[in-house]
Amino acid sequence: MTVLLLGCKSKPKFIKNQNVGSALGTTYSIIYISNQELNFQREIDSVFTVFNNSLSTYHPDSDISKINNGDSTLVVNQMFRDVFFQSQVINVESNGYFDPTVGVLVDAWGFGPGKALHQLDSVQVDSLMRYVGWMHIGLNRDYTIAKMKPGIKFDFNAIAKGYAIDRLGKMLEKHNIQNYLVEVGGEVVAKGTNLISNKPWTVGVDDPNNFMKRGTAAIIHLKDKALASSGNYRKFRIDPETGEKYVHTINPKTGYPKISNILSTTVIADFCIQADGYATAFMAMDLEDTKILLEEKKGELEAFIIYLDEEGNTKEFMTLGFEEMVVK
């Protein structure tokens, strides 16, 4: 008699690995699925360290701080170059509304590491505007920064966090991780699926009208894409002397905080550096100009914009591609 042993196929065992902590002035959560327990904390810390050494304006010894303080001999690394060139692209496509040379204005209005100037008047703003404008800077062949005006200061905070998230994702992929969710300060890169639940990665978009209670305006499924949001409800400054509220979106064309009916912008792109930069640009641009740019970049960018109409009612604009990702 012959006995046949027919084994049942066991389901593959997946393990959820997660690292959480604080970096870049915010919190992070990195989830990566594998068939074994892993801990990439050392590699994660290394990415943040290299990033801060290159691009953080809050680190006085970083490359960007040295350049802002007048060092014209420093050769910038690949991180700096990647952010520089992507900023240049978005600057052109946004007609100058995205401009990381606003560093002097960011400091003056109290949103940077430099000293804030209270009650800025038009004379002071006009004086600072001399040092704003992407046309005044360049990258030399030896990868040193060229400034036509020495007083120019870079501020890549509106795009650099997205780039850091991309770099964390690339680090995971070098370790053959294909299913992960990297979130830093609400910005996200999602690759593959959540193999533990066998479902797509699910991401919530903050509701600017219910931000304090962490309400969501939409929930989406995200796969092999990046998402970033920007909103004046997230960051503002109140002048201690006048009590006046200043929003953090600086209009590089006027030098003043942007007065806008846009409450929040959320952008989906292939890379978080793109999503981060365009989300900031759309906060500074008029809605109709944003719609035109989104039409030109159809298939590359998806967006969800919450704004106030002329009567003060909350309205939403959503591209078709974004709408298709929304969990019904």
Give pLDDT tens digits for 170-213. Answer: 999 999 999 999 999 999 999 999 999 999 999 999 888 765 55
| Percentage of residues in the chain having pLDDT higher than 90 | 70
Looking from the CA of 297 toward its CB, the CA atoms found within 13 Å total 20
Q: What angle do CA 274, 277, 270 make, to 5 degrees?
A: 15
pLDDT at 2: 40
121/198: higher pLDDT: 198
DSSP 9: P
The predicted pLDDT at position 12 comes to 63
Domain residues for the domain of 293 are 15-58+158-325
Q: How far apart are the first and last CA of the chain?
A: 58
Cα 303 to Cα 265: distance, rounded to the nearest angstrom: 7
Residue 148 lies in a domain: no
Q: Is residue 299 part of a domain?
A: yes
The pLDDT, as a whole number, for residue 260 is: 76
Tell me whether residue 253 is in a domain.
Answer: yes
At residue 245, does pLDDT exceed 50?
no
249 vs 128: which has the higher pLDDT: 128
| Total domains in the fold of the chain | 1
Instruction: Find where tokens 């929003």 sit.
Output: 247
DSSP E strand stretches across the chain: 15-23, 26-34, 137-139, 145-147, 180-184, 187-191, 201-206, 216-222, 225-231, 236-238, 245-247, 262-269, 302-308, 314-318
* Residue 63, helix vs strand vs coil: helix
Q: What is the CATH number of the domain that holds 300?
A: 3.10.520.10
Q: Report residue 131 as tokens.
A: 């040092």
More confident residue, 232 or 243: 232
Tokens found for residue 137: 């800077």
- What pLDDT does 108 receive? 82
151 occurs within a structural domain: no
Count CB atoms within 10 A of the CB of residue 258: 18
pLDDT value of position 215: 75
Burial 55-83 (b: 16+ CB within 10 A, else e): bbbeeeebbbbbbbeeeeeeebeebbebb
Do 96 and 134 contact (CB within 8 A), yes or no? Answer: yes
Say what the pLDDT of residue 211 is: 55
Q: Which residue has the higher pLDDT, 206 or 62?
A: 62
- Whose CA is closest to 227, among 281, 173, 190, 194? 190
319 inside domain: yes
pLDDT digits (tens, 9 = 90+) for 211-240: 555 678 899 999 999 999 988 655 444 444
Sheet arrangement for strand 225-231: 15-23, 26-34, 180-184, 187-191, 225-231, 262-269, 302-308, 314-318
Distance of CA 250 to the CA centre of its chain: 16
Q: Is residue 297 part of a domain?
A: yes
Which SS3 state, helix, strand or coil, does residue 191 take?
A: strand
Averaged pLDDT for residues 247-254:
77
Rounded Cα gap, residues 276 and 266, in angstroms: 9
317 within domain boundaries: yes
Does 116 reside within a domain?
A: no
